[in-house]
Amino acid sequence: MSVRQPGLPELGADPSRTYRLGIMGGTFDPIHYGHLVTAEQAREALRLDLVLFMPAGQPAFKQGRGVTPAEDRYAMTLLATAANPAFDASRFEIDREGITYTVDTLRALRAHYPENVRLFFITGADAILDILSWRNAAEIARLATLIAATRPGYDINQACERVEGSGLPFDVRYIEIPALAVSSSYIRERVAEGKSVRYLTSESVMGYIKKNGLYRRDHQERVEGAEV
Ligand code: ATP
Ligand code: MG
């Protein structure tokens, strides 16, 4: 029986075919070309019908630092993905209360969509290395196929060995993508130092960061000083 959830796109209407849904999770603080090229090449390699970008509400692993408000991260995700008809940005996690766990999201997606929609969870090599320590890793393994993309600075082979040697029923597809050593942290640091982030992310995201004064030192102090 399906349990409908608000904030998810339509998929799976034709019962005679299978649909392949990619989920690109992240903090997206901000979204950048590393995320976009990973999602696009995953879409192509695994013939995904749609890639859903899901900014985390309150990320499980990033409670140490002041994360930019979810609405800003969602807005930038929407801007960066708008031109690709196979990309969509979802409010699903940001509209949920509390800490975001991937397993809860995948469970909700599984319940929402009919059986003919297959789930693929896309991660970079750093996230795949961590995945065994995520909450209910075995259930994640059963709910979705993992797409593991190479990322500069992280050893995908080591990740592969660990995941496959874990005894959990992971189905992992590895994809090699053009190395982009860009990270959100790097962009935040550069903005804080007043340096250019052009060509690391889209013009639209750059414009949003500038217009809203995100990541500037004075802004960061305000975010960190706030009760969140
Ligand atoms: P931060 O520096 O704040 O950790 P980030 O750039 O790592 O940010 P996240 O939002 O943490 O971005 O990552 C979301 C997902 O995108 C993760 O699965 C991560 O591995 C993947 N990813 C991010 N940047 C790249 C990149 N340059 N190449 C491949 N995968 C990437
Ligand atoms: Mg990261």
8 within some domain: no
Bridge-based pairing state of the strands 99-100 and 50-55 = unpaired
Is 80 a pocket residue for ligand 1 (Cβ < 6 Å)?
A: no
Number of domains in the chain: 1
Helix (H, G, I), strand (E, B) or coil at 198: strand
State how far the Cα of 122 lies from the Cα of 23, in Å rounded to an integer.
6
pLDDT tens digits, one per residue of 23-35: 999 999 999 999 9
**Domain span including residue 63:** 19-181
Q: Say if 9 falls within a structural domain.
A: no
C-beta of 55 in contact with ligand 1 (< 6 A): no
Could you tell me if 2 and 114 are in contact, meaning their C-beta atoms sit under 8 angstroms apart? yes
Q: For the chain, which ranges sit under pLDDT 50?
A: 226-228
**Ligand 1 site-directed mutation target among 24, 35, 54, 150, most atoms within 8 Å of CB:** 35
With 0-12 / 13-18 / 19 or more C-beta atoms within 10 angstroms meaning exposed / middle / buried, residue 142 is middle
Task: Verify whether ligand 1 is closer than 6 Å to residue 126 (CB atom).
Answer: yes
Token couple for 186: 């790097």
Kindly give the distance from the C-alpha atom of residue 114 to the centroid of ligand 1, in angstroms, as a whole number: 30
51 lines ligand 1 (CB under 6 A): no
**Which pLDDT value is given to residue 118?**
98
CATH number at 114 reads: 3.40.50.620
Ligand 1 site, residue 26, Cβ cutoff 6 A: yes
Q: How far is the CA of 167 from the centre of ligand 2 (A)?
A: 26
